[in-house]
Amino acid sequence: MRRDRAAWMAVVLAGAALGTATVAADAAPAAEARGTARSGTHTTACPTGWGSLDKTRVAGTTTPVEDVGTGRHACFDRLVVHVPGARAGDLGHFVRYVGRLHQDGSGRPIAVGGGAVLEVRVAAPGYRPETGAPTYPGRAGRPLPGVDLTGYRTFRDARFAGSFEGETQIGLGVRGRLPFRVLALDGRVVVDVAHTWSGAR
């Protein structure tokens, strides 16, 4: 079942606010991963206030997705959709918790493991628009190629749903409905899902 395009357009993040958040947040993970030494004790101040509501940015690019990867940090698990050559301002996204993931276009349900499922849509194709040739080797309904989630605290599953009408869709299974943020950066869209609601490690 095709999502109504009006829903995509209904919630638009303020451009100036997003730009500021993008620059500041991009530098934050390295500091969070290192931790902060205080009085001889290693502690980590994790970010809070991300929330679990839908996060949308209206933009789009014909530059294709070439890779999807994940990483572990002290405060969150991270999914990165790589769109080499795309500018941050052109990378739109729509990320939300769903009861069940449905493949765009066909409406086919895709099983995603975990206590909750994040639908991640990036407004960039997984193929070359001029030829239709795939640029990302994911197969619909299958785990993301090369992604191993062993040892992750929050991520439980990651499935490719497909690429349809210039959007690439991924199902991210997480431990439960946890707060998350989305960053649009040059060449990539980043989804961070916190380990806890409290901000504790």
Residue 199 inside a domain? The answer is no
Residue 93 inside a domain? The answer is yes
**Close Cβ partners of 2 (under 8 Å, ≥ 6 residues apart):** 104, 105, 107
Q: Which domain holds residue 182?
A: 5-194
Pairwise CA distance, residues 101 & 192, whole Å: 19
State residue 177's pLDDT score.
97
Residue 200 inside a domain? The answer is no
- Give me the CATH number covering residue 95: 2.60.40.3500
Residue 153 inside a domain? The answer is yes
State residue 198's pLDDT score.
85
Neighbours of 199 (CB within 10 A): 16
Q: φ, ψ for residue 156 (rounded to 5)? A: -120, -30
**pTM assigned to the model:** 0.79
Residue 201 inside a domain? The answer is no
State residue 199's pLDDT score.
74
Mean pLDDT of successive 10-residue stretches along the chain, which has 201 residues: 43 34 35 32 74 96 97 97 97 97 92 97 96 96 96 97 96 97 98 90 69
DSSP-assigned letters across all residues of 42-85: EE--------SS-EEE----SSPP-EEEEEE-SSEEEEEEE-TT
Q: How far is CA 75 from CA 24, 60, 134, 153, 200, in A?
A: 16, 30, 34, 9, 8
Neighbours of 3 (CB within 10 A): 15
How many domains does one find in the chain? 1
Contact 115, 104 (CB under 8 A): no
Residue 84 inside a domain? The answer is yes
Pairwise CA distance, residues 50 & 89, whole Å: 21
